[in-house]
Amino acid sequence: MADRITPGSCLVCGARLEVRKLYCPACDITIEGRFNMCKFCYLNQEQREFVETFIRCRGNIKEVERELGVSYPTVRNRLDAVIMALGYTVEAEETDARVDEGRRKVLESLNKGEISAEDAIKILRRK
């Protein structure tokens, strides 16, 4: 059977899912109850892939930037999104300042003719 990723939220209403059965194929036993999934199970596919890249790069943001082909503010924004999805808070001022700085750099690049208007729009939409 192909590996399937367990969804963390309901595909119909979006509520968090819980595990009700566990099965051991080695001894053919089923355990029923209410089991919590780990926090990482609630991350969406993009967030899971980001976490894998972040860990593979040992938390080196410059390396994550290079591997994903995105800017520093984008890496920080994705990291903040993962942190919040795991139930922790991110200082809004720091996040807002990084977003503003990232947007400013995009607009500067556009003004200098380093990127096209279409590229600027694509970059700004990802932030």
In this prediction the pTM is 0.59
What pLDDT is recorded for position 54?
A: 97
Four-residue CA torsion sign, 70, 74, 14, 18:
positive
Q: Report the distance separating Cα 5 and Cα 43, nearest Å.
A: 11
d(CA 97, CA 94): 5
What integer pLDDT is reported at residue 95 of this predicted model? 57
pLDDT at 100: 73
- Report domain extents, the chain: 1-37, 43-126
Residues of the chain with pLDDT under 50: none
Q: Say if residues 106 and 120 touch (Cβ distance below 8 Å).
A: yes
Distance CA 92, CA 41 (A): 25
Beta strands in 41-109 (DSSP E): none
